[in-house]
Amino acid sequence: MTMGWFDIDGAIKTVPVDDRGLQYGDGVFDTIAIRQGRPRLPDLHMERLQIGCARLGMDLPATDVLLDMLEDAIGKTACHGSGVAKFVVTRGSGPRGYRFSSDSVPRIMLGIFESPVHVRDCWTHGVEVRICNLRLGPQPALAGIKSLNRLEQVLARNEWQSESIAEGLMLDTDGNIICGTMSNLFLVSNGGLLTPAVTTAGVSGVMRRHIIALSETHGLPVTVEPVPVRKLTDCREVFLSNSQIGIWPVRRCGTSSYTAPGPTTQRVMKSLANSGIDECRL
């Protein structure tokens, strides 16, 4: 597979220095799994991309235009197996200063990359996570979307170097769990699933949304609310989700150990596998 970056007009190698995404992080991104040469859950990703741009007051082309761009890029890079597609949408070029022009033209870029390699043990025996020291600041205007400014996640991820730790969980300033640096969190609680609300910080993951919809369809209740960090000691099953991995069961967080994967987690993984998320097929 040949990796590359593209815009609507073709391959690109450079970005102008006056691009507002480069200057201020003024934009959004979305990362899509490619499996068997096809994008996974493309409609949900396009919807989130449109929501993020609308939140920032940016106009995007219609979804079918973006999907055509994606299909074209997959073909040009000969991505016939597994890969990763990353849309980056900035407000485009503009003058210095935080004020943006109402006639700014968004710059749409799409990268196609090889998939990261993870050992099968991550799914079959779970992963170890830690609590990050860095706290997420509340900002409801940006909560849920994948804005280009990921400095909180960058700093949090670099708090540890050990390969034995797969992910770090991030709290808000009130001590509630929000998400992982690259994932969403689910706890098995009271016969159902509990996942943190992302109304003041964090990202509303596409896989998180897919899990919620599938679980409710199959009679597994899902509660979305603030989750104090102490809840991690009150449950027996915990798992992470994102668009690339589907689900990773958690076997340990600090001094707390969990069944990985436990019966409810296995039930969710089976539902995901049946919906085409093959990584979750145990």
Structure-token match 């690339």, residue found: 244
Predicted TM-score of the model (pTM): 0.95
Q: Name the token pair of 247.
A: 């689900």
CA dist 122 and 199 (Å) reads: 29
Which residue in 184, 264, 258 sits closest to 221, CA to CA? 264
Q: Please give the share of the chain, as a percent, with pLDDT higher than 70.
A: 100
Structural contact between residues 246 and 272, judged by C-beta atoms closer than 8 angstroms: yes
pLDDT surpassing 90 at residue 172: yes
Structure-token match 């989750």, residue found: 227
In this prediction, residue 64 has a pLDDT band, given cuts at 50, 70 and 90, of very high
Structure-token match 């199959």, residue found: 218
Query: What are the backbone dihedrals phi and psi of residue 89, each rounded to the nearest 5 degrees, phi first?
Result: -120, 115
pLDDT tens-digit series, residues 129-155 = 999 999 999 999 999 999 999 999 999
Q: To the nearest whole number, what is the mean pLDDT of the chain?
A: 96
Domains and CATH numbers, the chain: 4-113 (3.30.470.10), 121-280 (3.20.10.10)
More confident residue, 195 or 95: 195
pLDDT surpassing 80 at residue 266: yes
Q: Please give the share of the chain, as a percent, with pLDDT higher than 90.
A: 95
Looking at residue 102, its pLDDT comes to 85
